[in-house]
Structure 1
Amino acid sequence: MKIFYGKGWNWHRLGPQEKTKALELIQTHHWPECQKWFLGVPSENINCLEINVASNECEALYGSLIYQQDAEEEHNRSVFHFYLTKDCLFTMNFDLSVFEGVHPKQVEHQLNRCKDAPEAFLVLVGELVNAYFVELEQFENNLRTLKWKFYHDNNKSIIEAIHKLRHELLIMKSLVMTMKKLAMAVKEAFVSKHFDGIEQCRTLYKIDRVITLIKDYANDINYLLHSEEVVTSHRGNEIFKALTIFTTLFTPVTAFGALWGMNFKYMPELSFKYGYLYSLVLIGFSTVMVYLYLKKKGWTGDLLKDKKKYMKRKSSFK
């Protein structure tokens, strides 16, 4: 167990096997209500957050929260447990060192400026949000790369990449919303306290900023998904259009071929010296007339123009 002594408050950092020491820190008048939660520690299945305001000036906030989650494996996650009063905070299995961009010395300086345990707890929440910012920066880079890849070469792998980023963003949103609920619970539990300190306001602003970023990224991903649906629908329409055109153009050939394949007893065309020539000319003429009719209606132009535009766009980026 490690103890950080602040100005009128202290923070006990406990390991996952120090449950007995944690029990000694819980105030007796809080025990009946938090007994169910504490007996379930360590729990890695649910997010639990409870407020105890039964006694005036002895408010408490406690629970178990997921603060790190792997995007690929559901059970690869980190859960910390905490108990918070005005002058005491203990955490179990809480390790900021697993995140990039966390500076222990800077965190210690911030904690030294805190006047009570709730303010210090918000500082720790703010550091978690800082770690999420680092992960969001990498996410933004991946999203930017995907946008250009979607523009240049849209294929089946694009939709898979979009859904993967969407899943990662949902995981990140879940973690951030957990911190949002935690900050709101701190303000609710210690409502008599004025949350106007610099460190407290900074944490609340961080949470609002990261939520805004996540909303913007979600809009971008939804736009990509919508664009993918439009492209897929357009391709399907082009395929059906091409099949319709081919079927229509070859209708004369099919009709005359059907006549040639008939074996009636009386076949007057057998005596025609230039029967094949006349038939071929008639087939060709009928096919050309059908094509000209389709072209006049504008039912063939898009297929040819789209291909030319696509090739022109591809060459402009070389």
Structure 2
Amino acid sequence: MEKGIVMTSYYHYHNGSWTKQALHVEDIRPEDITWTERISEMSVMTGNILKIETREDHEALWGSHIYRQSLGDEADHADFQFYLDRDDLILMNIDVPKMFSYTEVELLNDKSRRSAVETFYIIIKNTTHEYMAQIDIFEQKLHSILWEVKERNNIKILNQVAEADHQLLLCKTQIVTVTELFMMTEEAFGKEVEESKYYYQMKMRVERARFLINAYEEEIDALLDFENLVSSYRGNEITKTLTIFTALFAPATLLGAIWGMNFKYMPELDWKLGYLMALLLMIMVTYFIYIYLKGKGWMGNLLDNKSHHKNKFF
């Protein structure tokens, strides 16, 4: 093949039936207000690119649409290119079984006589199956995280929550693109498309996906708030515990430091019962501080074994 010559195959839906053609893009002669004037532009599009044209005598959509996106790898995705007007639907780089749920032979023998717009709705609805499956997987993961938070509260759980939130954002981005594409067909072709059952099915699919994503966003936000609450409480309990132990053993530490000095003249060193008296003094002062803290209610749940059961949140 000569350099600069691009060979492409495309599916063309016109007058209720499909045809498949393989041509050099450069050999297609552009004609005004037909798909031929966009084929060269479409052939080099990748990713999510949507364009619309609404002239007085002609309405059309064309662009590139990602129909499969991995939630773990940005580069792992697949897209197709399309052109749509009232009479023609052009598809390039498509996976027929995935988009139509039947083989290429069955597609080319399809004589359903739908309009081009209705056929496009069927395709877009089928491409959302994988998005909906990803949302279902996300739902299972979120359910697992909700129960893991009760069992343990650490950086691993927080990382799982952040990862789930990122995946939800990816799902939302994908559904936003589908929603925009759906809305653009309404803008281009007007209210007449609303009479089709395929329009209604697509509308319900988009609304269901958006409802699920919004609901899961609220759950993620609530989970993060709950995680912050549990972490804050446990952190305060740890700080309080360390403070109490410091207060209880401060007298013994102080007295031990005093009698650990190496001055030559220390009268207590000659006391016959000095050792015993020092121990008793340390115990008495520590006990007095304990009684004082408990009387003030500052001991909290530190010594309450029942409040620290492993299946409790706090």
**How much is the aligned-residue C-alpha RMSD, in angstroms?**
3.0
CA distance in 1, matches of 2:124, 2:141: 26
User: Does the alignment pair 1:28 with 2:28?
Assistant: no
Counterpart amino acid of 1:41?
Answer: S
CA distance in 1, matches of 2:55, 2:173: 30
The answer to whether the 8 A contact 2:65-2:81 is kept is: yes
The answer to whether the 8 A contact 1:10-1:87 is kept is: no
The answer to whether the 8 A contact 2:84-2:90 is kept is: yes
- Of 25, 40, 43, the residue aligned with 1:41 is 43
Offset, 1:139: 2.1
Residue 218 of structure 2 is matched in structure 1 by 219
Counterpart amino acid of 2:79?
Answer: V
CA distance in 1, matches of 2:114, 2:42: 31
Equivalences for 1:142-221 in 2 at 5 Å? 142-191=141-190, 193-221=192-220
Offset, 1:134: 2.5
Identity %: 35
Offset, 1:213: 0.6
The superposition leaves residues 15-51 of structure 1 with CA deviations (integer Å, 9 ceiling, x where unpaired) of: xx86629955x6424689858xx4473333x421111
Residue 263 of structure 1 is matched in structure 2 by 262
CA distance in 1, matches of 2:308, 2:288: 29
Unaligned runs of 5+ in 2: 1-8
Seen in structure 2, the aligned counterparts of structure 1 residues 129 and 148 have a Cα distance that, compared at 3 Å, is: same
The answer to whether the 8 A contact 1:12-1:90 is kept is: no
Residue 5 of structure 2 is matched in structure 1 by none
Name the SS of the counterpart of 1:190 in structure 2.
helix
Name the SS of the counterpart of 1:195 in structure 2.
helix
Q: TM-score, normalised by structure 2?
A: 0.83
The answer to whether the 8 A contact 2:88-2:116 is kept is: yes
Residue 125 of structure 1 is matched in structure 2 by 124
CA distance in 1, matches of 2:27, 2:160: 44
User: Does the alignment pair 1:281 with 2:280?
Assistant: yes
Offset, 1:266: 3.1
CA distance in 1, matches of 2:38, 2:66: 19
Equivalences for 1:288-307 in 2 at 5 Å? 288-305=287-304, 307=305
Name the SS of the counterpart of 2:55 in structure 1.
coil
Count residues with an aligned counterpart. Answer: 300
Name the SS of the counterpart of 1:180 in structure 2.
helix
CA distance in 2, matches of 1:302, 1:23: 81
Q: TM-score, normalised by structure 1?
A: 0.82
